Each structure stands twice: as C-alpha cells, then as structure tokens.
Amino acid sequence: MPGKIIHRRSSNLTKRFIAGRRRGHNAVKLEPTLTERILEAVSGAPGCRIEDVVGNFPDFTWNQIFRELGRLSRNRQVRLVVNRRGLTVRES
C-alpha cells in the first residue's frame, strides 16, 4: 500500500544516537578515537619513540598511526623530533 506508514521499533541506542546528531554531537561514544588514544599515550610517556607508540596499538597498522601522528604534528598537537634515539614524539 503506497501511502501506508510503517512503524518500526528502534532501540534506545539508536534513539540516543539520532538525538545526539540533532544536537550536533555524538550522543554515544563507545571507545576513544585513535587521536585521543595517541595523545593519552604520548602524555603518559613524553619523548617516547615512534615504535613505542605503534607497539601500544596492535589493533591499528603502522601506516594508520604514522598518518595520524603526521596530522597531529601539522596541527601542532604533538612534535616529532629526530635525535640519536630515532624519531620521538612529544606533546606540544
């Protein structure tokens, strides 16, 4: 029937997500983003090597982490420093 409205049941999770989107943000945040996780790791171990950061996140590839570190560096949220230990990451 072309004009008939079908009512579907939505879960509370879906309703909260939609309500949050209407307010301009995510109402449900299940886990921190890669950015937040990297910033937390760097703040906990300032001057750590890039290999140490990659080792902290086995669920991400080296490439994903390196690209995110590059973006964070361009936004001046972290500093990538080359020294005798190799490439280290520091908070800005």
CATH fold, domain 33-91, is Arc Repressor Mutant, subunit A (1.10.10)
- pLDDT digit string, tens, across residues 1-34: 566 665 555 555 455 555 555 555 554 555 678 9
What percent of the chain lies above the pLDDT cut of 90? 38
Q: Does the pTM exceed 0.85?
A: no
78-81 contacts, C-beta under 8 A, 24 or more apart:
78/38, 78/39, 78/42, 80/50, 81/47
Does 45 score more than 50 pLDDT? yes
All structural domains of the chain with their residue ranges? 33-91
Q: Could you tell me which residues come within 8 angstroms of residue 1 by beta carbon, excluding any fewer than 6 positions away?
A: none
54: pLDDT strictly greater than 70: yes
